[in-house]
Amino acid sequence: MLGLFFRLIGRGIRDMGLHPWANIFTLVAVTMVSILAGLFMLTLHNVNQELLKSKGQVEIQIFWVANTPAEDYEKQWADLKNIEGLKDIRTFTPENALKQLSEALSDSDDFSWLGESRNPLPPTALLSFSVEPGVENERWAADLLHDLKALPFVDKVHYNPLQIDLARGWISLTQSIVWPIIGFLGLIVALVVGNTMRLSLMTRKDEIEILYLVGARQWFIRLPLLTGGALLGLVGSSTALGILYAAQQFFADILNFPPLFMKLTFLPPEQCLILAGTVTLIGMLSSFVAVKN
């Protein structure tokens, strides 16, 4: 029985060569629809990423006690890089902080006379966090601040509570919009691809009717057609993702100029799997419905 199952799958793959032009046109149509769907998802993903970059982050500044041994705060800086959600960290030794202050004052004041021994500035670190990992946890910000304040030699931790609330609200809003849009897009792809697959199976109408007349079982007729539908969907969606990836690599820096500074990124793996899996499943379902009718 298992051997017959695999032989029917192999037959479904071989049968695609019986009507090459019909399958080629169907594959092109499926690929084009997948490209349009993927292009929309790519645009939505990049716009969402860019908005989250400016709206979905918070900054926390940590001040250590003056005269903290360098080896202690440098070890803590290394440990801070492992915190979940950390996007960027800028650290300043007392010497660097004094230099930054002098440059900020347009070199009108020279603080070099203070020297290392009389430098009043403490070591500091500016941490930029993405609030995304903590959206579902109401105590994410409170726990994070508590852990940072509990670090040895830490004197003060500055942050803006309103910035955290705004970032979390923005992320919740984008998550509630993006996924319904992707779902609606999947419905449109299902209708277009499904109808295309059903039309392609019209070329095999006589063959299917003959098999019914000679008493072939339903699964014996449907399995090769389901295999062909799934293969067309998988190849079409994979080809579309490959074309989109090549286009993204070519145009990655097309918007990376002032004042946009926007670098195009490719779809995350989960959205690629959703696109390929949806088109493949639609190919199978449309073949099943076409044979049933």
For residue range 137-171, what is the model confidence (pLDDT) as tens digits? 777 778 888 888 888 888 888 888 777 777 777 77
According to DSSP, the residues that pair with 63 across neighbouring strands are: 124, 156
pTM for this model (two decimals): 0.64
Q: What confidence tens digit (pLDDT) does each residue in 168-211 have? A: 777 777 777 777 877 787 777 777 777 776 776 776 777 777 77
The pLDDT value recorded for residue 109 is 55
The pLDDT value recorded for residue 291 is 65
The pLDDT value recorded for residue 255 is 79
* Cβ-based neighbour number of residue 108 at 10 Å: 6
Q: Is the pLDDT of residue 225 over 80?
A: no
CA distances 217 to 119, 208, 274, Å, are 88, 11, 33
The pLDDT value recorded for residue 202 is 72
What is the average pLDDT across 133-138?
66
State the chain's mean pLDDT as an integer.
Answer: 79
Q: What confidence tens digit (pLDDT) does each residue in 2-56 have? A: 676 667 677 667 777 677 777 788 888 888 888 888 888 888 888 877 777 767 7
Where are any strands of DSSP class E within the chain? 57-64, 86-92, 124-130, 154-158
Query: ∠ CA 75-79-85 to the nearest 5 degrees?
Result: 150
* Cβ-based neighbour number of residue 236 at 10 Å: 26
Structure tokens at 6: 């695999």
Q: Is the pLDDT of residue 114 over 70?
A: no
The pLDDT value recorded for residue 241 is 93
Q: Is the pLDDT of residue 245 over 90?
A: yes
